[in-house]
Amino acid sequence: MTQNEKLTKLIQLTINGESRPLLVEAHWTLSKVLRNDCGHTGTKEACNEGACGSCTVLIDDIATPACMVLAIEQEGKNIETIEGLSKDGQLHPIQEAWLEEYGAQCGFCSPGMIMSTKGLLIKNANPTDDEIKEALGGNLCICSNYEHIINAVRSAARKMSKEQANV
Ligand code: FES
Ligand code: FES
């Protein structure tokens, strides 16, 4: 066995509903693999130590900083990135809310904020402001656009509840 064979492993990851084989090194984080090997550059990297939330994705519906988990440990789980949100050219209600409420200034934090919002609204369709602040507490916005972001989450919750009611 060569040195390379010892360090790499062929794994199967399910990303945005699609299963794909990936040859990864044991120490590669999920954020690196998403960005460098899958082209999902919507997953942003800044601190690389779990402190900013810009790399947040959903793993089995739980908002998770992708820089803090190893890709090799994600086999058999459903990974959802910002690229998986819009369907058939139609923005997801959370993305619509972000646009309407000016949730983005520079936009760098938006993918992570939006994925944390989706994780929150999956478990709590009608969060209070305190619950929104708590759920987004790990996501930092260097532009300090928090007021608009919280408005966007409120609006997304209303939109999604309305959609549910119409199903
Ligand atoms: S880049 Fe992952 S939390 Fe900052
Ligand atoms: S909008 Fe710029 S970092 Fe949040």
**Ligand 1 contacts CB of residue 53 (under 6 A):** yes
SS3 category, 20: strand
Nearest CA to 151 out of 143, 162, 159 is that of 159
Ligand 1 centroid–CA 138 distance in Å is 9
Segment 56-113, tens digit of pLDDT: 999 999 999 999 999 999 999 999 999 999 999 999 999 999 999 999 999 999 999 9
Q: How far apart are CA 154 and CA 167, in angstroms?
A: 20
pTM of the model: 0.94
Q: Which of 45, 99, 141 to mutate to test the pocket of ligand 2 (most atoms within 8 A of CB)?
A: 141
Domain ranges of the chain: 3-84, 93-166
From 108, 139, 144, 148, mutation site for ligand 2 pocket: most ligand atoms within 8 A of C-beta: 108
Token representation of residue 49:
């130590």
Domain 3-84: assigned CATH number: 3.10.20.30
For the domain spanning 93-166, the CATH number is 1.10.150.120
Q: How far is the CA of 52 from the centre of ligand 1 (A)?
A: 5
* Residues 112 and 83: beta-carbon distance below 8 Å: no
Cα 156 to ligand 2 centre (Å): 18
State the Cα torsion 132-134-135-140 to the nearest 10°: 100
